[in-house]
A and B are shown apart, each in its own frame.
Chain A
Amino acid sequence: MATEGEVITPTSLGREALHRFAANRLAMVSLLALFALVIVTLFANFLPLIDPTQGSAFNQDSFPSRVHLLGTDASGHDLLSAIIFGLRPALAVGIIGQIVTTILGVFIGVVAGFYGGKIDSLLSRFTDFVFALPTFLLAFLTVAVLGPDWDNFFGGSGRVVLITIVFGLVGWPPLMRFVRSLTLTYKEQQFVEAAHSIGTSRWHIITRHILPNTWGLVLVQTTFGVGGFIYNETTLSLLGLGVQPPNPDLGALVSIGAEHIYINWLESVAPATVLAVLVVVFAFLGDGLRDAIDPRTGE
């Protein structure tokens, strides 16, 4: 937030947004937390962690010890490394799925908004249709039906790929509508008219003049979306449709841990906390980005 009575120095929109974002403590903490989670997850293989798929029948549901810093889960897997490796499917589905969604939404939205007419009404109808589909139910059914087959693809991580594709393919309509309406307003503005008048090609106008103006607001939507995808992915794994054991997955860890809550409460509380942090981080990050990029909508 800009303080009043400040001496105003010339600055760019982007830099102002950056300043606003940096001044938002909650958003900065969220960014740092997310950064830490992603780094740890990416480099998990190089950390001195116990193999999370290696169970032990003699050391189940144990409390924290020197060897197992967070204890072990119901099958004797090291809980700390299971949580760290279990973040992978959640982050992969959330971030990659959201990238797919963003590409689809932005592309379809900008084409519909820019070309208008028949193309627009056709694409908008299609979007309305996909938007009205009950996304979670279709994802649930698809993964329930096709999941077992896909487990064998991509070296055992086929199910994550399948979930990512499904979410990515059905999640784009809100973004499409958003980008379409932005495009409609930009299209009428003078900088686009000017570009037209000097003979800039349509493609060039879209990529160089309209899209750059949408990135900030699209980024906000995308950030919120990642949290939503993680929500759905972990819900699927809670239902036993996510990554299959012995490979760790956050949702499954919470669910199985909760069944053993009378033996060892940490088994469910630890992964649940990490998952809560992960989802909340994206929500606060999105909130902070929105306040920074588009301060008017914060109200």
Chain B
Amino acid sequence: MVLLSFIVRRLISMVLILFGVATVTFFLVRLAPGDPVMQQLGAHAGDPVAYHRLSHLMGLDQPLWRQFLTYLWNAIHWNFGTSVAQLGTPVTDIIGQGLPVTLELGALATIIALVIGVPLGIVAAVRHNTLVADNLNMGFMMTLYSLPPFVIIPGVWIVFGILLKDTAFHLPVTGWQGLGDPHYWLEPSFVFAAGLVGLFARSMRSFMLEELGKDYIRLARAKGLSERKVIYIHAMKNTLIPFASVLGPTVAFLVVGAFIIEQEFSIPGIAYITVQSTLSNDYAVTLATTLVLAAAVVVANALTDIFYTLVDPRVRL
């Protein structure tokens, strides 16, 4: 019962946070310079009748609070109006085009980071306090984690775009052709993964060290289990629970990273769309994409908390 009430409370707080985000973003965008009605009027900009008609159509002649409620109501029903820059295209269609790309890229980066980062973290914990396997390794992971990924992009381009130009390893500098063409996704997904590798390796090391110091590990060793079994079966299993706590930060990290990677590699994902829409004052799109990305972060954090209490009942409810 305590568990259930925790989950319900956590979900309610998630909805409240989402409401907060929707409110802040809505009123923030209303502060934007420029009149969205004038922007759409074009040649009819001087015509007051057309102005009134359009502003009525767009609902902008309503009081602000009613506009806000309408916006919320429509948002809940997955309706964000139409784009100004791509005249008449529903905003949800634009999101529908961008979101899969961002999800694919994020999934690739996460998989790459897990495959590289987790073993590096385990090695560092097992060979605790050795120069290469732990100290240098973790120094490098710290560097990867704190670097904005775009500082390594020029280096990657120089190697794979220029130096290896006439070889089989040549990779195109920008663009996106879906998951089917690894030539296009290899560079962005590895650059994207770099920071996550650092995060995963460092977290894995500390979770592993914690487990390795516990009594059951000593028992496993004492009864003569091979070191491999001790680490990969006994200790590893128990690091999975704390490792779940990294999920929330991972999603937040992926959202910021998506802005950098999609912008630099010209990948038409949702972050790229967000940036482009601010440049063309297409605020209906900006508002919607920001809300979608924000929802991803907020929901991921809530799910992490809930999952954590489900698998580990000792966590404070």
What residues of chain A have their CB less than 8 Å away from a CB belonging to chain B? 26, 128-129, 132-134, 136-138, 140-142, 144-146, 148-149, 227-228, 231-232, 234-235, 238-241, 251, 254-255, 257-258, 261-262, 265, 268-269, 272-273, 275-276, 279-280, 282-284, 287, 299
Contact = CB atoms under 8 A, between A and B. Distances in A.
Given A145-B32, A269-B158, A137 B151 contact: no
A129 B17 contact: yes
Contact of B256 (A138, A232, A276): A232
Contacts of A140: 259, 274, 290
Interface in B1-42: 13, 16-17, 20-21, 24-25, 28-29, 31-33
B158 to A, nearest CB: 5
B147 interface: yes
A146 B283 CA distance: 13
Contacts of B147: 276, 279-280
B313 interface: no
A240 B279 contact: yes
Nearest to A281: B146
A280 B146 contact: yes
Contacts of B17: 129, 132-133
B179 to A, nearest CB: 25
A231 B146 contact: yes
Contacts of A272: 150-155
Contacts of A134: 21, 252, 255, 293-294, 297-298
Main secondary structure of the interface of B (DSSP, over half): helix
A154 to B, nearest CB: 18
B299 to A, nearest CB: 11
Contacts of B204: none
28 contacts: A26-B139, A133-B17, A133-B20, A134-B293, A144-B278, A145-B29, A146-B31, A148-B33, A231-B146, A234-B150, A235-B150, A238-B150, A239-B259, A251-B148, A254-B151, A257-B154, A258-B153, A258-B154, A258-B157, A261-B157, A272-B151, A272-B152, A272-B153, A273-B151, A279-B148, A280-B142, A283-B142, A283-B143
Contacts, number: 140
A6 B153 CA distance: 48
Contacts of B148: 231, 234-235, 238, 251, 275, 279
Given A133-B21, A145-B32, A238-B263, A261 B150 contact: no
Interface string B73-84: 000000000000
- By Cβ-Cβ distance, the 9 closest A-B pairs, closest first, are A268-B154, A283-B146, A144-B278, A272-B151, A134-B297, A134-B294, A276-B151, A145-B32, A132-B17
Interface of B: 13, 16-17, 20-21, 24-25, 28-29, 31-33, 139, 142-143, 145-148, 150-155, 157-158, 161-162, 173, 209, 252, 255-256, 259-260, 263-264, 274-275, 278-279, 283, 286, 290, 293-294, 297-298, 301
Contact of A227 (B29, B146, B263, B293): B146
Given A140-B290, A269-B158, A299-B209, 6 more contacts: A235-B256, A251-B150, A261-B162, A272-B155, A280-B143, A283-B145
B276 to A, nearest CB: 10
Contacts of B139: 26, 284
Nearest to B29: A145
A244 B293 CA distance: 26
A265 B154 CA distance: 8
Contacts of A26: 139
B142 A287 contact: yes
Contact of B162 (A128, A149, A241, A262): A262
Contacts of B153: 254, 258, 268, 272
